[in-house]
Amino acid sequence: MIGPKPHISEQPITIRNWHRHVDWFNTTFIIIVPLCGCIAAIFTPLRWPTVIWAVLYYFWTGLGVTAGYHRLWSHRTYEAGLSLRIFLACAGSGAVEGSIRWWSIKHRAHHRWTDTEKDPYNTRQGLLHSHLLWMILKPNPKNNARTDISDLNADPVVMWQHRNYTKLAIGFGLVLPTVMAGVGWGDWKGGLVIAGILRMFLFQQATFCVNSLAHWLGDQPFDDRNSPRDHILTALVTFGEGYHNFHHEFPSDYRNGIEWWQYDPTKWAIWICARFRLASNLKRFRTNEIEMGRVQQLQKRLDHRAASLGR
């Protein structure tokens, strides 16, 4: 008896079928376009106004992902009014990392099923898988995790951005940075290549590092049962998202860096929005609860050390 044909992800990759394994939509935006941009950059003279614009736009679109996609929509760490939600949805589209809805579904599954087969960027499948391959190769639908997204489906901004994602990604990811540099100081090519494609490519890679490197590199002051780690390097390139051990332990806290000296511009941006009444109900775990988590982890380490000396 012949059973149902196995899904492509269950078939070995061969010369004949490799193109069917590839998710071409993701591959276009995170591999092919960035690769073309890197080649074009060699032939694009650098102009200072374009470089400054690219850095500013990196922050703008990046905050769309960190303050919007991640801390607002994936974790509901605060509430945002309509104007801020529209701003974050448009800014986040410019980072070209998928729609809010798609991104948040994957991210909620990652938190719920960390380091298991149902974790879309499961660290145990290797650094390259958690960094890139999970988006490049079609996943096995058997591993699809169930997550509650009724709140996302009920948010008209999320649904509008999801339906119009391709147009918004091209508009805010490529067209806006090009037009700004072209109309502003006549650098159309630099606008497209530097402020558009290279800026998008660098922030994509920085965010992907939170899925890969932040589960490999750094300290585990709160919990060492799973892979997430705190590291200043991943925090620096992603506006504070690198304090990942804390974040996995306290995901509904609007902060990732809890100390005043930790680099967490996303937290500062949300706090400033709250001062201007654009955001409200910023959630924080109580300091003694957080300290208790730190002390328990320290105690666990001490117990292990004592046990090893007693042998």
Query: Binding residues for Zn ion, per CB under 5 A?
Result: 228
Q: Sort 188 into a burial class: Cβ within 10 Å, 0-12 / 13-18 / 19+.
A: middle
Dist CA 170 CA 68 (whole Å): 19
Dist CA 119 CA 143 (whole Å): 8
Nearer to Zn ion, 228 or 242 (CB): 228
Dist CA 236 CA 272 (whole Å): 20
CA distances from 181 to 112, 140, 212, 303 (A): 42, 42, 33, 59
Nearer to Zn ion, 161 or 266 (CB): 266
Dist CA 177 CA 199 (whole Å): 10
For the chain, what's the residue count?
311
CB of 8 to Zn ion, least distance (A): 27
CB of 238 to Zn ion, least distance (A): 11
φ, ψ (nearest 5 deg) of residue 276:
-90, 10
Nearer to Zn ion, 190 or 218 (CB): 218
Dist CA 158 CA 80 (whole Å): 13
CB of 77 to Zn ion, least distance (A): 9
Encoded tokens for 145: 């995790």
Residue nearest to Zn ion (CB): 228
- Spatial CA neighbour of 96 closest among 210, 213, 216, 176: 176
CB of 119 to Zn ion, least distance (A): 9
CB of 61 to Zn ion, least distance (A): 18
Nearer to Zn ion, 181 or 213 (CB): 213
CB of 108 to Zn ion, least distance (A): 8
Nearer to Zn ion, 139 or 171 (CB): 139
Encoded tokens for 143: 């591993």
CB of 137 to Zn ion, least distance (A): 20
CB of 75 to Zn ion, least distance (A): 6
Nearer to Zn ion, 70 or 199 (CB): 70
Nearer to Zn ion, 173 or 218 (CB): 218
- Spatial CA neighbour of 223 closest among 255, 251, 246, 252: 246
Query: CB-based contacts of 120: which residues, under 8 Å, 6+ apart?
Result: 106, 109, 110, 134, 139, 145
Nearer to Zn ion, 199 or 248 (CB): 248
- Spatial CA neighbour of 11 closest among 24, 2, 20: 20
Dist CA 22 CA 133 (whole Å): 9
Strand residues in the chain grouped as ranges (E): 79-80, 279-280
